[in-house]
Structure 1
């Protein structure tokens, strides 16, 4: 099983004047990031992988601190990453017990990639709120079992 996380709330792009890669979480986003710790309690996690953006790294930071795990930057989770390569990475054996934090557009592209090839078992496009979590259990299928957890707090 692996976990897909859409980064927590980061405010409006239009109101941020720096490079988008450096856009931080909003106060709500920080609360959602702390909520992730409770949401994933009882889930075995070995690896934390993040888009190399500030908002994704900040989303995983409370979890990293609580679990004593480092956060690894993964370019395949970045906003412009190729969905076919990410799809392949998610289906490698080392994806088991990993948390992947990425962006809504990447989750949507991943869903569209899988759907265009008739591959079930990935979150549907447009179905993940900021801070939302998908549990993907590949051992339950095929197809993999999906379970969604809305962000805490929702906003």
Structure 2
């Protein structure tokens, strides 16, 4: 048997959820008699972002969307260590918990004034997480910059490059992207008109019912600095979550339009990888990066 220190961490995810009126969502676990944030372990192959949203829904009955990420928690649990990935969050639509039915896992769910939450929370690491969350609690929306999933090799494709499709590995990536994009409530779906980009976001639009907006000006053949800048500015100023799916050669134009390359090194995204930009009133307040499979 491997020594405890060599065993991988137990991984979990949760959300520090706020609502107007400076209130934060807390849950009580009767098994431990503690107050904490909604959280839970990742299921097999589950992405932490999807797990965080799922756990809030299961423990409170509320659907949330993720805001800026928070520092991970890491602490011992039994013979292993546990890492909990956290985000701030906001409810999507209803935030009423008065109809919640207590159960053996969670017997109380409350919206608590932020000023009182630290006194109610049981653990010091949760109080530290709350302090981090308070600093970025203001409402934001996410712009997900997504490079298309794994596609057929350009060298082996004989047709028009705009028709080059995803490999089966890429199709699997596209399927696994669905709950991750949903975690950010990406309601505007804008994609290069090239097939490999359309296929990357197709499972998401089919699942959610959101409209797919294809743009030739996001393709390798049609992208221009001014066109990309206009698309990005519209999405940043819209106030709603969005995803923009494009190609590696076009990504620098997207980064320039956001203003990322002026403040940090240009991120090199792998196929199926995303940069999540959190904005408030058109100003970027946080950036995170995720890869989904294969």
TM-score normalised by the chain length of structure 2: 0.46
Shift of 1:108: 2.8
Matches within 5 A, 1:3-152: 3-80=144-221, 81-92=223-234, 93-94=237-238, 96-111=240-255, 119-120=262-263, 124-125=266-267, 127-139=268-280, 142-152=283-293
Structure 1 runs not aligned, ≥5 long = none
The ranges of structure 1 where at least 4 consecutive aligned residues each deviate by more than 2 angstroms after the TM superposition are 108-115, 117-121, 140-144
Partner of 1:14, secondary structure, is coil
| Cα pair distance change 1:76/1:145, threshold 3 Å | farther
Structure with bigger strand share is 2
CA deviation string 1:93-122 (max 9, x = no partner): 23731111100110034346777x97337x
The 8 Å contact of residues 232 and 258 in structure 2, kept in 1 or not, is answered as no
TM-score (norm 1): 0.83
Relative to its length, the structure with more helix (as a share) is 1
Q: Does the Cα contact within 8 Å between 1:7 and 1:103 map onto a contact in 2?
A: yes
The size of the alignment, in residue pairs, is 150
